[in-house]
Amino acid sequence: MSKKAVIIGIFVFLSVTNVSSQTLTATDGEMHYLVPGHTYTLRPIPGSDTSVNPIITGAEWGEPMTFALNAPAGTQFRVSFILTGDEAICGSSISSSFYTNALRWEEKDVRFDPTDAQIITADSNGKATLDLGISITIQSNTRRHSYQARVNCLMVSLQTGDSLASSAGFYSDGGDLSTTAVDGDMANLSRGYTYSLTPNTSPSPITPLINGHEQGRTAQLQTDVGYGTPVRVVFILPTRLIGDDGNYSLPCGFKSDAIYVEETGERFDPNRPDTIMQGSGCTLTLDVGITLSVPSDAVTGGYTAQIILEASYIGNSKSMPPGGMRSEMEMLIGVRVSDYDIPASISLLQNYPNPFNSSTTITYGLPEPASVTLKIFDLLGREITTLIHGYQYAGWHTIDWKADEVASGAYVYKLAAGNFTQAKKVLLVR
């Protein structure tokens, strides 16, 4: 059984229909560090070290919800509570219920069953204070995420008929901060270019695509701490990727929008601390981009760099786990520089063989990706066929011209790429 913690808190939304001399206020209740697989009882004893039972880890503690009535002395109210049910927020559920003595009238120190309507009377000071406990069952497979149960309270004056109504939510949240990481990688990078790996881009997160074989996956971090929790994140970033042999390195950096938040679509700067809020999914997924330069004389092979994330819970200090709530996670960026041969300039080589009988191979090189056209003409300038027409990546390319239906003679093949054009003669002999 997992000892992962679950926190129970209470958030109150108050609506009142009364005269100005009658008010009902409610304060939050809370339960912290409950262990999945157990049923806990929150006793209606504010400030008591034994308000939560059982004590499994020694860290469990809680405070009941308190309803404070102010009304003319001697005014009587009929009080009823309705537990409307549990609502799963993060994919699992809890089970909550009232027990027979879960309601305590502070001024008289008597207990009631909150499922039965009770009569209370404002004392000589015009006050009546009710503390409400609850029973919570945490399933053994429960995620340390957020869950809530709704409670409705209604007080009706027996003298005037005025009503005071409040609605509250029993809210549970994860008691520790969990972070998981996925390593990132970039492969088949060409020498002499600066690459960026950008999260949430399509069809490829790597730019530029030079040789067309580049592949990349962003490093990913997922924090798991519960709905609405503020988390401060600090990245410790590398400035270079170190080669496998330790003798060579590649410079790297991180742009101001290098972090992409999957759940919200927002971006932020990993170069400085930031505060993020856990959303309704109770997790927050951060994709980490990177920019790196591959010198023209870089040694081919593998390079790695380490990214460290420090995530800290910055919520209510009263509910902070013992020793604070902080998580540190490491992930790697792995890079592989290829030995793809990228020419320094556009090159059109002589076909081979030449002369040829029925088929010959034409080779050309591109230093940058470009739109390319390669056509065959006769000596009068008439187009015979188009061999290539489209976008191609940098590198050396070959194409075969099969001239089975063309008469013997001299022809010209012409390459056009951007502003570059070049032609060479070819001889077909049957």
d(C-alpha 119, C-alpha 78), whole Å: 5
DSSP H or E segment with residue 148: strand 147-157
Q: Is residue 306 in a domain? A: yes
Domain span at residue 361 reads 347-428
**Per the domain annotation, does 111 fall within a domain?**
yes
pLDDT band at 9 (very low <50, low <70, confident <90, very high): very low
Tell whether the model's pLDDT for residue 83 goes beyond 60: yes
- Give the CATH number for residue 87: 2.60.40
Determine, yes or no, domain membership for 342: no
CA distance 403 to 213: 31
Q: For the whole model, what pTM was predicted?
A: 0.65
* Residue 430: strand, helix, or coil: coil
Burial label for 20, CB within 10 Å (0-12, 13-18, 19+), is exposed
Widest CA span in the chain: 121
Name the domain count of the chain: 3
Q: Which has the minimum average pLDDT: 30-34, 349-353, 381-385, 403-407?
A: 30-34
pLDDT digit string (tens) for 127-138? 999 999 999 887
Q: What is the pLDDT of residue 217?
A: 92
Domain assignment present for residue 295? The answer is yes
Short-list 122, 90, 97, CA closest to 108: 122
Query: Does a structural domain hold residue 74?
Result: yes
Confidence of residue 108 (pLDDT cuts 50, 70, 90): very high
In a domain, 121, yes or no: yes
Strand partners, 24: 69
Pair (223, 190) in one structural domain: yes
Query: Do residues 170 and 182 share a domain?
Result: no
Q: What are phi and psi of 159, to 5 degrees?
A: -85, -45
| CATH at 398 | 2.60.40.1930
Look at residues 290, 309, 337 and tell me which one is the last residue of a structural domain. Answer: 337
Residues 14 and 153 both lie in one domain: yes
Contact status, residue 61 vs residue 321, Cβ threshold 8 Å: no
Digit-coded pLDDT (tens) for 254-280: 999 999 988 888 899 999 998 887 665
Q: How far apart are CA 51 and CA 170, in angstroms?
A: 16
What mean pLDDT is predicted for residues 242-250? 94
Give percent of the chain above pLDDT 70: 83
Give the single-character DSSP code of 356: B
Q: Is residue 272 domain-shared with residue 293, that is, in the same domain?
A: yes
Pairwise CA distance, residues 406 & 376, whole Å: 11
Q: Which of 174, 204, 223 is the last residue in one of the domains? A: 174
The residue with tokens 């927002």 is: 266
Is residue 30 a contact partner of residue 9, using CB atoms and an 8 Å limit? yes
- Residue 273 token pair: 């601390």
**Do 72 and 166 belong to one domain?**
yes
Residue from 71, 80, 145, 140 nearest 113 by CA: 80
Task: Quote helix, strand, coil % in the chain, to nearest 5.
Answer: 0, 55, 45
- Count CB-CB contacts under 10 A for residue 331: 19
Give the tokens for residue 26: 């409610």
174, 200, 221 - which closes a domain: 174
* Assigned domain for 138 exists: yes
Residues 30 and 160 reside in one and the same domain: yes
Per residue in 199-229, pLDDT (tens digit) is 988 777 899 999 999 999 999 988 766 556 6
Same-domain status, 231 and 372: no
* Average pLDDT value for the chain: 85
Over 50: is that where the pLDDT of 282 sits?
A: yes
Is the same domain home to 234 and 309?
yes
> 167 and 185 share a domain?
no
What are the C-alpha distances in Å from 383 to residues 310, 386, 402? 65, 8, 15
Is residue 1 one of the residues assigned to a domain?
A: no
Are 359 and 241 in the same domain? no
Please give the distance of CA 393 from its chain centroid, rounded to a whole number: 34
Paired with 179 in beta bridges are 223
Residue 24 has pLDDT above 50, yes or no: yes
Q: What burial class does residue 85 get, using C-beta atoms within 10 Å of its C-beta: 0-12 exposed, 13-18 middle, 19+ buried? A: exposed
Q: What would the 3-class secondary structure string for 304-359 be?
A: EEEEEEEEEECCCHHHCCCCCCEEEEEEEEEEEECCCCCCCCCEECCCECCCECCE
pLDDT at residue 162 is higher than 60? yes
| 304 and 385 co-located in one domain | no
User: Are 162 and 143 part of one and the same domain?
Assistant: yes
C-alpha 369/C-alpha 393 separation (Å) is 4
| Contact predicate 301/243, CB 8 Å | yes
